[in-house]
Structure 1
C-alpha cells in the first residue's frame, strides 16, 4: 500500500483534468470514455482498430467511407493525430470517433487515426516516435511493398497523403511533415497538412499572450509535464520557428485553422507568417473562426463555424 508521502500530488492541471502523484500514478478526470469501432448506419462509414506495433501497443483506428468495390477510383489518405496536450484523450474517444467518422463520409477519404502513447507515463518524445512509426506503417502499403492491411492496400491513392491534427495533434502533424521532408517516405507523396488550433509555444510572449500570462504559464508548465527533459518553451518541438529545419516541410501546402478567442490564436498566425518567410516555397492558408474558443468544433460540431471549418478541411483535401 502506498504511503501518504507517495500519494502526494506532484502535478495538478485541473483545467484539463489530470494530476500525477509521487508514486507514479496518474488520475485522468475527463477524456477517459471510449467508443468501439462500428459501421455507421446512416453514412455507411466503417471503422476498425488495428495494432501497428504489438511490442509497444501502438494502434490506430481506421475509417473507410462507403464504397462498392476496390476497382473504383482510389481515395486520399488522411493520417490524423488527436489532441489533448499529449496526455489526455485517445483515438477511440467519442469526440474523435464521431468527428472522424463524419469527416470520412463528407470528404470521401480513408483515415488512419493514430493512438500514440501518452505522457506522463510515456513522456515525449514517445508520441512523436509512435506517430512516425504509424506513418511508415501506413506508407508501407503503397506499391505492394509489404503492408497487410486490406483497406489501405485496396482503397488508398498514396499520391494523395495528408496529415492533420488538433492542438497537440496539430503539433505532431507539423513535426511529422518536417520529418517527411528530411527522411522521405519511400516515394509516397505528402500533399499537405491541416493544423487545427495548433499547440505551439515560445519563451517570449507574442500578441495577446502578454494579456494572458497565467494561461501562458499553464501552457509552458504542461509542456514540461509531458516532456520533462525538454530544453523549455523554445524547444523546437514546441516552438517550431526555432527549428533549423522549419522550412524543410515535406509537403507543398498547409492549412492553419485558428479561433478568435483561443489563447493559441496568435501562435497560429505567427506560424503562418514565419512559414511564408522561411523559404519553404509552398502555400500556407489560414482560416479564423470568429467568436470561437479552442477546439470549439468538437464541443458544438453542428454550429455554423464548425460546419464551415469541416467544409474548408474537405476542400483542402479534394
Structure 2
C-alpha cells in the first residue's frame, strides 16, 4: 500500500505522511575534479568532524603551484532550503566558471536541508562553515588550500534564492559576532528569497502564489511567526542597521515573483541607518535563477561579469 502524500510541492518535492521526503529536482551529483575547460581544481572537505557540515572547495589549478593569495568566496546554494546540494552539476559548473572568471577560491557549503532538518539548521551549519573558513586566517587551519592561498582580507559571500537568504542572515550574525582574522569585503545576493505577509507594490496578489510561498516557508521553519519573521522579511528586523558588511550587490530578474523583495531590501536598508553601499541590478526579461538554468545566455554572461567586477574592484 502506497504511503499517502502529505504535501505535494511538485515539481520540487513531495512529503509523505510517514515523513519520507521525495525530492524531484536537484538530486543529481557530480564528483570533484580538475575541470579541463576552466582549469579549476575542486575537492570535498568535511567541516569539523563534530558537525554535519561539509563543503566543496574550488581553486584555479595555476594558483596551487604558486604563492599567490586569492580572494575567498563562501557560496550558499539555493533550492528553497529543500532541494539541491553543493554537489549538484548545476552548482559545480557554475562555480567552476565563476572561480575561473574571478580568479578566486570558493567554498561551496553543504548545509542540512528541510524538512528533515528545519531551520535554523541551515543557518547554524552556514555559520559553522564561516567559522571554519576563519580558522585558517593564521595559516594553520586544517585545509592547505586556504592556509596557503587565501587572502583573508578579501572574503565575500554569495548565494542564490534560499542561499541569498542565508547570506543576509549570516551578515546579521556578523553584526553581532565578529569572526577574528577575516575581513568581509562584500556580499552578492542573487534573486534573494525574502517575503512578507502583505504584498508590496507591483508584487503578486494572487492568493494561490502567495500561499505557496507562505506554506513552503512554514514547512522549512515550523516554529516561524509567519512571513513577517525577520529571517524571511528583513524589513521587520531591528538589527538591520548593524549588518556586518558595507558593500552589497543584489541581482534581481524582471519576471521573478521575488523581484520586488530585492528592490525593497535596498530601500529598507538605506533607511535603516546602515552606513554601507547597496546596488541592485535587474536582468530584463528573465525569471528566477535564469543564470543557472541557461548559463550560456547573454544576461547570464552580463551577470557573471558584474559579480566578477564586484569582487575584483573592491578597494
Q: 1:162 corresponds to which residue?
A: 156
**In structure 2, how many angstroms separate the alpha carbons of the residues matched to 1:74 and 1:89?**
31
Matched, 1:150 2:144: yes
Q: Deviations over 1:9-65 (max 9, x none)?
A: 2211114x2111121111111210001000011221000000103344310000001
Question: Distance in 1 between the 2:267 and 2:218 partners?
Answer: 26
Provide the rounded CA distance (Å) in 1 between the counterparts of 2:234 and 2:93: 30
Aligned: 1:67 with 2:69: no
Q: Contact (CA 8 Å) 2:63, 2:149: kept in 1 or not?
A: no
Partner of 1:140 in structure 2? 135
Match of 2:285 in 1: 291
Q: Using the alignment, how far apart are the partners of 1:159 and 1:308 within structure 2? A: 27
- The counterpart of 1:127, out of the listed 101, 107, 122, is 122
Alignment partner of 1:224 is 2:218 = yes
- Would you say the 8 A contact 1:70–1:155 is kept in 2? no
Q: TM-score, normalised by structure 1?
A: 0.95
The answer to whether structure 1 residue 88 and structure 2 residue 83 are counterparts is yes
1:9 aligns with 2:5: yes
Matches within 5 A, 1:298-309: 298-309=292-303
For residues 284 and 211 of structure 2, what CA distance do their matches in structure 1 show? 25
Unaligned runs of 5+ in 1: none
Match of 1:200 in 2: 194
Tell whether the 8 Å contact from 1:70 to 1:154 is kept in structure 2 after alignment: no
Q: Is the 8 A contact 2:48 2:132 kept in 1?
A: no
2:44 to 49, 63, 68: 49
Alignment counterpart, residue 227 of structure 2, candidates 215, 233, 251:
233
Give the aligned partner of residue 33 of structure 1. Answer: 28
Give how far 1:181 is off. 1.4
Count how many residue pairs are aligned between Structure 1 and Structure 2. 312
1:210-242 alpha-carbon deviations (Å, 9 max, x no partner): 443322211111000111111111111011111
1:185 aligned residue (179, 189, 193): 179
CA distance in 1, matches of 2:260, 2:21: 32
Q: Which runs of 5+ in 2 are unaligned?
A: none
Paired with 1:211 and 1:299, the residues of 2 have a C-alpha distance of 26
Does residue 102 (structure 1) correspond to residue 84 (structure 2)? The answer is no
The Cα shift of 1:89 comes to 0.2
Q: Which moved more, 1:78-87 or 1:175-184?
A: 175-184
Distance 1:294 1:237 in 2: 20
C-alpha RMSD over aligned residues: 1.3
Output the CA distance in 2 between the equivalents of 1:297 and 1:71.
Answer: 32
TM-score (norm 2): 0.96
User: In 2, are the aligned partners of 1:209 and 1:216 still within 8 Å (CA)?
Assistant: no
